[in-house]
């Protein structure tokens, strides 16, 4: 697969975090997430310590706080859901700013917000310091199912192609005076979506035949060998190791 262009989430840099092999960072983020999820929700100080750890990673990776905060917008649906839980929750009630809220709902909302936010920040830092293609190569190195990795690779490679195809179709519609304003225009949009699906399917068939003609047998060739030394693993796993030590103090 070609290297292609940089993804929007990737922040080019030469920090120690950027230089770590992707498989090391993937395993570190996964292990950190497991520790966060296993932490009792009543241990407020532990979540604060995890946030400090991620802040240290952001500083080491030279990822600005504003950059992380802007990309945390993806968490908004979870935040809205968390705020709704205390309102509709059952059980003991308490007054907060004049509102009657469920105590178990408040605990559930805090649990979701704290753990989801830490997971989102860790994922943002991973994406900011690792190119998408490198992440997939790291997943391949970690022996994730080959078929899933290949599907993700092709999705990454051709996503922009499909988006550009959609843009051209929209320009073609607008150049003919079409503008979607109400439900009566849904059939036109539906036909465009159908045409886009057919074009994408046919493109996939052509790509598959081209791969077979070049000797594809179910496995993509490994062009770049991603080797990780003991130092790399030790540096990457320092984050979940410290988090695990903090988790141990919560019991």
The pLDDT tens digits of the residues spanning 180-217 come to 787 888 888 888 889 999 999 999 899 989 988 988 88
pLDDT of residue 158: 85
State residue 3's pLDDT score: 42
This prediction has a pTM of: 0.79
Q: Which of 182, 98, 153, 132 is nearest to 12 (CA)?
A: 132
Q: Is pLDDT of 140 > 50?
A: yes
In the predicted structure, residue 16 carries a pLDDT above the cut 60: yes
Residue pair 26/138 in contact by the 8 Å Cβ criterion? yes
- CA distances 157 to 1, 22, 73, 128, 150, Å, are 8, 18, 25, 18, 10
d(CA 148, CA 146) in angstroms, rounded, equals: 6
Q: Is the pLDDT of residue 100 over 60?
A: yes
Q: How far is residue 88 from each of residues 30, 46, 72, 94, 119, measured CA to CA in Å?
A: 32, 28, 26, 13, 26
Alpha-carbon distances of 130 from 94, 133, 136, 172, rounded to whole Å: 45, 8, 10, 36
- Local structure of 91: helix, strand or coil: coil
pLDDT surpassing 90 at residue 223: no
Residue 183 DSSP symbol? G
Q: Is the pLDDT of residue 226 over 80?
A: no
Whether the CA torsion 218, 123, 72, 14 is positive or negative: it is negative
pLDDT for 37-50, tens place per residue?
Answer: 999 988 999 999 99
């Amino acid at each position: 697969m070609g290297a292609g262009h940089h993804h929007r989430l990737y922040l080019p840099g030469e920090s120690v975090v950027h230089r770590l092999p992707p498989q090391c960072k993937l395993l570190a983020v996964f292990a950190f997430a497991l520790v966060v999820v296993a932490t009792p929700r009543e241990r407020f100080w532990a979540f604060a310590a995890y946030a400090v750890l991620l802040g240290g990673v952001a500083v080491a990776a030279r990822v600005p706080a504003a950059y992380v905060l802007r990309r945390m917008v993806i968490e908004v649906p979870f935040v809205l859901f968390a705020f709704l839980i205390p309102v509709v929750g059952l059980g003991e009630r308490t007054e907060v700013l004049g509102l009657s809220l469920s105590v178990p709902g408040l605990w559930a909302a805090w649990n979701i917000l704290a753990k989801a936010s830490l997971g989102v920040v860790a994922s943002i830092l991973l994406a900011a310091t690792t190119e998408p293609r490198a992440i997939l190569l790291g997943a391949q190195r970690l022996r994730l199912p080959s078929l899933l990795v290949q599907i993700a690779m092709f999705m990454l490679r051709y996503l922009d192609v499909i988006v550009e195809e959609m843009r051209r179709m929209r320009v073609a519609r607008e150049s003919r005076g079409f503008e979607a304003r109400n439900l009566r225009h849904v059939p036109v949009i539906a036909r465009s979506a159908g045409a886009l699906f057919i074009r994408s399917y046919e493109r996939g068939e052509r790509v598959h035949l081209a791969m077979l003609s070049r000797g594809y047998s179910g496995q993509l060739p490994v062009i770049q060998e991603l080797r990780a030394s003991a130092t790399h693993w030790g540096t990457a796993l320092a984050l979940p190791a410290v988090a695990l030590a903090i988790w141990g103090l919560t019991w």
